[in-house]
Amino acid sequence: MAELLEHYRPTDDTRTPGVYRVVGAPNEITLLRVTDGDGRRVATGELHHVSPHTLDAEFVRADNPDSGFTPIAGIRNMFTGLYWSVRRFF
């Protein structure tokens, strides 16, 4: 049985590639896509409702995309913030 905040990745091409987080699991499981196919965080709001059987058949467990330190992502975020700080004045 899926637990809240667990992460899954689809095993076939029927769903958008990426990592999905379990955000609801009463009778059917609600999945929120949290990364794109390359593992970059995205805020899509894309929800999928699947049965426990479908989750077992069409998804595999995935690592939490928010865990760990990624220096490249930190540098990218720093430059993005710097760009928008300067941009707002022009």
One pLDDT digit (tens) per residue for the chain, 90 residues: 789 999 999 999 889 999 999 999 878 999 999 999 988 889 889 999 999 999 999 999 999 887 766 677 677 777 888 877 877 777
Instruction: Return the ∠ at Cα 28 (arms to 36 and 59), rounded to 5°.
Output: 40
Number of neighbouring beta carbons within 10 Å of residue 55: 21
Establish if 2 belongs to a structural domain.
no
Number of domains within the chain:
1
Establish if 1 belongs to a structural domain.
no
| Structure tokens that stand for 52 in this block | 């426990």
Establish if 68 belongs to a structural domain.
yes
Q: Is the pTM of this model over 0.85?
A: no
For the chain, counts of helices (H) and of strands (E): 2, 5
* Integer angstrom CA distances of residue 15 from 5, 20, 75, 78: 19, 11, 31, 32
Q: What pLDDT, on the 0 to 100 scale, is given for residue 23?
A: 95
**Residue 47's domain spans which residues?**
7-87
